Amino acid sequence: MELFAIYTAWWNYAASVLAGAENDEADAESVLRYTQATKLIESWEDNSKETRVTVAKAERDTSPEVVKAEDRVVQAKAVRRLDIVMVENCERCANLVSREITRRTGGRTIQTRFDRMTP
């Protein structure tokens, strides 16, 4: 049972790591939106109305800062997905151990009751 308590503590740690990864992903998405907006404003020029938005968005999306921010978002999402897998694996293993403990202790209880009832 002591090992199960230690395992549960590690499971709690994995869940907190996942929460941190979700925060990092949200921060990366925020930085990406800010960088995109900044680059869009910087590249805004007095071209014709039809091409102005299209060209400005294309310049924004090809900007090294925006590409770097997009890469950070992709990396943050990948880390979050890996952390989700880790937490789900912990949950499955904990459920397995819990069922096994219940099975083993439940059998003893039934056997002990049976022994008390029969002479």
Range of the domain at 17: 2-117
Segment 60-109, tens digit of pLDDT: 888 889 999 999 999 999 999 999 999 998 888 888 888 888 877 775 55
Alpha-carbon span 60 to 72, nearest angstrom:
16
Residue for token digits 């994995």? 14
Segment 101-111, tens digit of pLDDT: 887 777 555 55
**48 burial class (0-12, 13-18, 19+ CB within 10 angstroms)?**
exposed
Segment 10-40, tens digit of pLDDT: 888 999 999 999 999 999 999 999 998 888 8
In 3-state terms, what secondary structure has residue 119? coil
Segment 40-53, tens digit of pLDDT: 877 776 555 666 77
- The number of domains in the chain is 1
CB 36 within 8 A of CB 60: yes
Q: What pLDDT does 10 receive? A: 87
Is the pTM value of this prediction over 0.75? no
